[in-house]
């Protein structure tokens, strides 16, 4: 079975060059992360730009919007992670 890929917009933190292992991403909380799984993902450039504006992230040569490929497995894991908090009760 072939893995399907989806290309989404992310915000990179670091010099603009070909993305290499160890690249920094901006997470949903607005802070940098090296964990690709925690990168904030957007379906459009405009959504990423709006997030940067709302989070007061200056877009420039070191913090910029780019495209990143994610497999279906990565996306499903991300959705499960995002929704896992709603099932937890306070104990």
pLDDT in tens, 13-53: 987 765 566 679 999 999 999 988 889 999 999 999 999 99
Count structural domains, the chain: 1
Joined together, the tokens standing for residue 74 give 């990565």
pTM, entire model: 0.73
Is residue 89 domain-resident?
A: no
Is residue 62 domain-resident?
A: yes
Is residue 9 domain-resident?
A: yes
Is residue 91 domain-resident?
A: no
pLDDT of residue 42: 95
pLDDT of residue 73: 81
Is residue 52 domain-resident?
A: yes
> Domain limits at 43?
5-16+23-84
Separation of alpha carbons 46 and 23, rounded Å: 22
């Amino acid at each position: 079975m072939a893995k399907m890929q989806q290309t989404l917009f992310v915000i990179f933190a670091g010099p603009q060059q070909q993305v290499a292992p160890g690249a920094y991403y901006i997470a949903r909380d607005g802070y940098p992360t090296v964990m690709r799984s925690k990168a904030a993902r957007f379906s459009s450039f405009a959504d990423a730009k709006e997030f940067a504006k709302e989070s007061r992230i200056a877009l420039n040569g070191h913090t910029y919007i780019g495209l990143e490929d994610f497999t279906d497995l990565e996306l499903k894991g991300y959705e499960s992670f995002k929704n896992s908090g709603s099932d937890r009760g306070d104990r």
